[in-house]
């Protein structure tokens, strides 16, 4: 394939941004001359996206767009104007860059870009990470040449003959953590199991509160690495201190966030992971073959809810709903996992079947096929 130009589209959360990077890195590995442009939004995770793209040398353009809400909001009236403006902005950026294809990861930032690409007859490949696709991807799927999905359950929401299960692409470095380095990094010991707590890219107050509440009991059987999220860090540290635990001592470490290398090491040292069930978290846990307790965001049959229960259905994880996240049941689940070696082994084997190591390669193959067909 000669030198090509690819637009990456998506945004709204880290779960949309980092798979884009995984595919971009695979494309660059196979076709070193490929040029990229990322089109996203400055809202929510926009700054994170810009920084992540900048690290690998991909320029960024931001557009206006409206969020596709499942609830009433006064923002609907502003969104009525934002989306058309975003389409016009996308038309300008696409005309300037002249891409051969668009790879869309979803999120409301992707919709104007995908529509603009369709108007220009630029082929689009859309990827969806969740067990139930969001409205943005359902719309994007209608304007896409091909659709790639992570869960077979989401195929029914797209046109069958252009949809394929590829798995969710993650950056390969997330599976290359160093256990010894991790123990040294956080002052942990190999003599104790490690419980790794994370609440997604922005943290989770409910999970933080539950974990700090059980520290007196949990510290007797495990050491704890706790990602609180930037917004909730001070509160979590205060609650831990109130329970008698200072971060960095008593085998309890709280951090607001971890960079990629630290995150890989965290996976390496962890024996049990207590986590939200966003698509990226689920995939990274599966790729590292880890024992997990998922606590999905409690919004009815949310994407996280369905992600968690699809994994639980194959025997790959335990699920605790947030309203049941009390001291007694949380400690019961953790103790059950620590004491039942056979159960841990079963969960590890089953969750690993969800991981598609070649997800990025399959998506790259789809993008190349799409360009050749055009």
Same domain, 197 and 282: yes
Q: 16 with 125, same domain?
A: yes
329 and 368 co-located in one domain:
no
Q: What is the pLDDT of residues 106-153, one digit of tens each?
A: 888 899 999 999 999 999 999 999 999 988 899 999 999 999 999 999
Q: Would you tell me the crossing angle of helices 303-313 and 279-287 to the nearest 10 degrees?
A: 30
Q: To the nearest whole number, what is the mean pLDDT of the chain?
A: 91
The pTM for the full model equals: 0.92
Res. 79 pLDDT band, cuts 50 70 90: low
Q: Residue 69 pLDDT more than 80?
A: no
Tokens 């390496």 correspond to what residue? 268
* Same domain? 185 vs 162: no
As for how many domains the chain has, the answer is: 2
Same domain, 47 and 153: yes
**Domain range holding 330?**
173-352
**Looking at the structure, do residues 107 and 186 belong to the same domain, yes or no?**
no
136-171: string of b/e by CB count within 10 Å (b at 16+)? Answer: bbbbbbebbbbbbbbbebbbebbeeeebeebbbbbb
d(C-alpha 144, C-alpha 129), whole Å: 16
Task: Report H helices in the chain.
Answer: 14-30, 46-55, 75-97, 110-119, 135-142, 179-186, 205-213, 215-218, 233-242, 260-269, 279-287, 303-313, 327-339, 341-352, 359-373
Q: Under a CB-based contact definition with an 8 Å cutoff, are residues 243 and 214 in contact?
A: no
Give per-residue pLDDT as tens, 320-353: 999 888 889 999 999 999 999 999 999 999 999 9
Separation of alpha carbons 78 and 276, rounded Å: 31
Q: Do 196 and 147 fall into the same domain? A: no
Q: 3-class DSSP state for residue 147?
A: strand
CATH number at residue 322: 3.40.50.2000
Higher pLDDT, residue 199 or 357? 357
pLDDT at 66: 63
Let me know whether 135 and 181 are in one domain: no
Residue 71 is predicted with a pLDDT of 47
Region 46-65: mean pLDDT is 87
- Residue 326 neighbours by CB distance under 10 Å: 13
Do residue 182 and residue 159 come from a single domain? no
CB contact at 8 A, 93 and 114: no
pLDDT tens, position by position, 255-291: 999 998 999 999 999 999 999 999 999 999 999 999 9
Domain co-membership, 347 together with 360: no
Residues 162 and 191 in one domain: no
Residues 332 and 250 in one domain: yes
206 exposure class (CB count in 10 Å sphere: 0-12, 13-18, 19+): middle
* Contact indicator for 251, 223 with CB cutoff of 8 Å: yes
């Amino acid at each position: 394939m000669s030198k090509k130009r690819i637009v990456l589209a998506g945004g709204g959360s880290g779960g949309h941004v980092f798979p884009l990077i995984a595919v971009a890195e695979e494309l660059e590995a196979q076709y070193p001359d490929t040029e990229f442009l990322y089109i996203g939004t400055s809202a929510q995770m926009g700054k994170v996206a810009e920084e992540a793209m900048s690290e690998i040398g991909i320029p960024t353009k931001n557009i206006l767009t409206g969020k596709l809400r499942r609830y009433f909001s006064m923002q609907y009236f502003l969104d009525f104007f934002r989306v058309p403006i975003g389409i016009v902005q996308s038309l300008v950026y696409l005309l300037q860059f002249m891409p051969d294809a668009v790879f869309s990861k979803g999120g409301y930032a992707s919709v104007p870009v995908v529509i603009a690409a369709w108007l220009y007859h630029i082929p689009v490949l859309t990827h969806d990470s969740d067990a139930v696709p969001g409205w943005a991807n359902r719309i994007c799927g209608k304007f896409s040449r091909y659709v790639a999905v992570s869960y077979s359950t989401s195929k029914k929401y797209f046109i069958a003959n252009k949809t394929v299960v590829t798995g969710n692409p993650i950056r390969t470095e997330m599976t290359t953590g160093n256990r010894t380095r991790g123990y040294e990094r956080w002052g942990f010991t190999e003599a104790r199991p490690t419980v790794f707590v994370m609440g997604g890219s922005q943290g989770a107050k409910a999970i933080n509160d539950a974990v700090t509440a059980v520290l007196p009991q949990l510290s007797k059987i495990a050491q704890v690495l706790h990602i609180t999220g930037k917004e909730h860090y001070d509160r979590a540290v205060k609650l831990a201190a109130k329970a008698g635990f200072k971060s960095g001592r008593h085998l309890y470490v709280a951090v607001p966030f971890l960079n990629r290398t630290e995150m890989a090491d965290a996976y390496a040292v962890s024996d049990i992971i207590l986590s939200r069930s966003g698509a990226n978290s689920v995939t990274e846990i599966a790729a590292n073959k880890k024992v997990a307790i998922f606590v999905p965001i409690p919004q009815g049959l949310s994407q996280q809810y369905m992600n968690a229960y699809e994994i639980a259905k194959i025997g790959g994880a335990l699920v605790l709903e947030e309203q049941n996240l009390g001291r007694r049941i949380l400690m019961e689940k953790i103790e059950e996992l620590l004491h039942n070696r056979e159960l841990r082994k079963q969960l590890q084997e089953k969750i690993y079947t969800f991981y598609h190591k070649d997800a990025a390669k399959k998506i790259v193959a789809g993008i190349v096929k799409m360009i050749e067909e055009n």
